[in-house]
Chain A
């Protein structure tokens, strides 16, 4: 069974641009969560989607948004990029997001110049 895949793996953008990251969950998984990992703040929860609906949201500004498609694939978008958005963005999937195990992808490394 294929694991969680994230594309692209690396991305370089400049301040003010926007970016879209993609996550394909494990087949059969309907819950997708996104996390931001930085050296200063560590791992922080962004949001979770289940059956195309945002079910939980972390404490991030509105520039961070996401969506989930009917095949459970998810995208997250960051608009008006800031230097502080440079981070590793991790996606995790699970069957229901309730009591089953979350499996993480390798992440997308975003660098904002």
Chain B
């Protein structure tokens, strides 16, 4: 069975600092990997997805993630945090295509001025 582990339920950064949200996965087959963001009282918005085309994936709002098979990781980064990045971030994996996602528990990103 596939699973996703997100290290840290809460991550705090200062505005302008590097954002690093960690995600490790387990999957018996080459996975599809995703990062979603959820703002309060809203649904999920796709930030980026890995589909084996390139190990470094660029997404929206300046976010990117690197797929490292040897470490089974797919960490999310952004060089400089903005106040508007404060939200909850979810890493997800699927080995049946995009419609059956297994999510991590989520990481709440807090950005202070």
Contacts and interface: CB of A to CB of B under 8 A. Distances in A.
B44 to A, nearest CB: 4
Contacts of A58: 100
A45 B46 contact: no
A106 B43 contact: yes
Contacts of B100: 33, 45, 48, 56, 58
A1 B44 CA distance: 18
Interface residues of A, number: 27
- Kindly name the residue among B44, B49, B51 whose own CB sees the greatest number of chain A CB atoms within 10 A: B44
Contacts of A43: 90, 92, 101, 103, 106
Interface residues of B, number: 23
B46 A102 contact: yes
Nearest to A32: B99
Interface string B76-113: 00000000000000101000111111111110000000
Given A56-B99, A98-B97, A99-B98, A42 B43 contact: no
B103 A99 contact: no
Contacts of A90: 43-44
Contact of A4 (B43, B46, B98, B101): B43
Given A42-B106, A104-B44, 5 more contacts: A33-B100, A43-B101, A92-B99, A99-B51, A102-B98
